[in-house]
Amino acid sequence: MKIEKLVKIMSALANDTRLRIFGLFLKREMCVCEVEAALGIEQSRISHALRILREAGLLDVKKEGKWKIYSVNRDVMERGFMKNLSKEIELPKKDLEGLDRCIREGVRESCK
């Protein structure tokens, strides 16, 4: 991996909010309202974090109806460095509980 790309990835993940958001995407694809519900972070901060993660090449986005669905960029994740790093990311218990609640309550379907 080129140094410039590695610096961009490491810079994107060198923030606790972005790292927590990225950790959620390691679990499943999500829309912004699901991340908001799971982490209890305001939408503007999430959108800013998602932009940085996308610019670093860590996330992909697809349009699904009225939602933009974000997911981990599998091409980047197949590289040794990222594959190993992803195994080391341990989300706080409250984030995992928020994710479970988000799934249980069907947040995406209730977002307007």
Determine the pLDDT at residue 112: 61
Residue 34 to residue 98: CA distance in whole angstroms: 9
All structural domains of the chain: 3-104 (1.10.10.10)
- Segment-wise mean pLDDT, segments of 10 residues, the chain, 112 residues: 88 95 95 94 95 96 90 85 83 94 89 70
Calculate the alpha carbon distances from 9 to 41, 58, 68 in Å. 22, 7, 22
Determine the pLDDT at residue 1: 74
Determine the pLDDT at residue 70: 96
In degrees and rounded to multiples of 5, residue 21 shows phi and psi of: -65, -45
Determine the pLDDT at residue 76: 83
Determine the pLDDT at residue 35: 96
- The token duo for 32 is 């912004």
Query: Is this prediction's pTM over 0.85?
Result: yes
Determine the pLDDT at residue 111: 79
Going by C-alpha positions, the residue among 112, 34, 111, 17 that lies closest to residue 71 is 34
Determine the pLDDT at residue 64: 85
Torsion of CA 73, 74, 80, 84, to 10 degrees: 80
Residue 31 to residue 75: CA distance in whole angstroms: 20
